Structure 1
Amino acid sequence: IIVTEANALLRPLHDRMPVILDPVDYGTWLGTGRTDREADKALLQSLLKPADPSGWESYPISRAVNSSANDSPELLEPLVTEAP
C-alpha cells in the first residue's frame, strides 16, 4: 500500500490515506515500454496524491470493527446515537 497525505474528508481522522488511483490513470500506472526514467518518475509521482473526496461520505460506525473476531456486514452500518 502506498500512502499520501489525507484528503479533506479523512484529514480529521488521520494525516495519511492510501493512494487511490482514478480508473483513467490505471493504464499510466501499469504502462510498459517507458524509456525516459526521469520523465516516467515524474509522471508516476504525479499520481501519488490524495483522492478527490467528492462523492464520498463519512459517518461513525461501531468500534467492534476493530476486532478481527467480528465479521459481519452490520459493522459498517452507521452508528445510531441517541439524543441527550
Structure 2
Amino acid sequence: MNTTLTKGDLKRPQDGTYRIWKILDPARTLWFLTWFLIFLGLLIHILLFKSDDLNWHTDGRPIPLKAAAAYERAQQGLPY
C-alpha cells in the first residue's frame, strides 16, 4: 500500500489561492482598497449630513446626559 502524498492529491480550496496574487500586485491592491474605503466612508458621512432625517448634529435631540438635558430644558422654560 502506497501512503505517499503527491502534489496532485491536495484538493483543498486554499491550495490554489496564491494564484490570484500572481495576477494582482498585492501592494497596489492594498493601496487601492485603502483609498476606496476612505472615499466610501467620507461619501457616506457627507450623504448623511446632507439629509434632513439622518443628520445627527442638527436633529434637535437633547444631550444624552440627564443633568445637561434637564439644564437646557430649564433654560428654555420647559418642564423636564
Structure with max Cα Rg: 2
By percentage of residues, which structure has more strand? 1
By percentage of residues, which structure has more helix? 2
Q: TM-score, normalised by structure 2?
A: 0.26
Q: TM-score, normalised by structure 1?
A: 0.25
